[in-house]
Structure 1
Amino acid sequence: MGFSEDPELQPFLFGLFLSMYLVSVLGNLLIILAVISDSHLHTPMYFFLSNLSWADMGFISTTVPNFIVSIQIHSRVISYVGCLTQMSLFLSFGCMDVMLLTVMAYDRFVAICHPLNYHVIMNPRVCGTLLLVSFFFSFVETQLHLFVALHMTNFKDAEIANFFCDPSQVLNLSCYDTFTKNIVQYLVSIVYGILPISGIFFSYYKIVSSILIMPSSGGRSKAFSTCGSHLSVVFLFWGTGIGVYIGSLLSDSSRNSAVSSLMYCVVTPMLNPFIYSLRNRDIKSALRMFYNRII
């Protein structure tokens, strides 16, 4: 259903979404290039950050390009296979964001609470394993949603009150057994919502406890600064996600649903590179070195 049927508003929406998409892709791509080009950033923290940037680029690329094309061709129709494909990719990259943010919280916990054993605990094999586990959980979540969505029997002329195939709304179109569908949704909410955020809270509870007993104020300030960017991204990601969920419960308006999803699916991936680059001296230094190298 998109945002508006007003023909005069379509050029504005086209320019807005195209600009946000280009800024997001360019910003995340610069983070990846900075990490690759600077040997000082070849650490577990920046390894996970570069993968988070890949996930953010994939996340925004599953929704915005299709919406931009639909504005140009003046058609909001999407095929059954295309809808399920978009939903699957959206879930995969979204889950990767969740898992990587959780892994990054664990990485900060080890770095601050066990600094002497950091490189032993977070060795390349462990980092690779954590990344593979994140991929695995993303794959499983996608399959669980497809398991329910593939049982849709009446999907012709169905309307989705958003600018993309929102998984929660697609599942409501399914004619599958309601009890099983609810079980799958609750299971996904617990495993991919409550458990990751609980892990992040626990990690930061330990981090704050360790920081408060540090004798040096300079050490406390440095420890807090290393967590600031990650905490900002966590609050932005989960804050907008929870806002979308609460908004969908309080209002059935398609416009409210689309605007809430815009914050969650587009604005968050666009702001993440700015948060990490503006608050991180290492990233800013690496970007300057990369810029000087290419010119």
Structure 2
Amino acid sequence: YALRFAFVLGTTTQYRWMLSEAVFLVCSLAGNLTSPFLFVVHALEFFRGESARLLLASATLHLSKLGQAVFLMMLVVYMYAVIGFQFFKERHTEGTCRTLLNCAVSYLDGGLQSQGLHGPLTVMAPHSLFDSPLTDWFLQLFAMTFLTIFVQVLMAIFTGVIIDSFGELRDRQGEITSHLTEPGHLLSHNTHRDYVNFFVFLLMDCADDGRELTDLEEYIYTEVQRGSSDWLPYRHNLELQKKRAQQGEAEKERGSAAEVVREQLA
């Protein structure tokens, strides 16, 4: 890590990379000198990979939707905790519903474990349609509705938001990759080397403030200075655009000639 830190320090000016390498170096030294448990910090390097960052981004892309789902989950837990604490307090197991907060935490724990209220509550399945107490029927319905709403619906919505975010990011990345690999794209590998060299030369030329710029160079220089890329060809390079324009004009001329011939024949 000392060699890596020296290499990064000499090859980059990004403070983010230098800070991360400094943290890894300090934790490496502290792990050798004090406690080996500090080596666990190096596991954070896993998130430098493209796949790990994609997974992390999918969990944080739609935070507002995830927050709304969490709010609904907490609201459902609170409502069921109030009902259970008020009407079924004696049917809870020991230490699961002494207070309203204790009851809500027990319900939330049961919901996150996908077991519903069968852990906090002592639910007895009715054995007869007429002989079973009415309380057992209500308690069974109470536990089943919580399991359906919290586990089957709200938890599915929460995980569905993350899965949709992952699919959206994957499609976006695939679109960018396919866009950059188009044969006529400005940044594709099939673009002529002379055109790319001229593009680099033009940018370097525009960066020179020591001479008067032409109108085109001044326009490009202004766009680059304000961080805009509107001046770049979006889909194809200039040669293909010129060829397509010529093909369009030729088709228009052929169409006009065919129309003149039809008028003469008529």
TM-score (norm 2): 0.27
When normalised by structure 1's length, the TM-score is: 0.25
Q: Which has the higher helix share?
A: 1
Higher-Rg structure is: 2
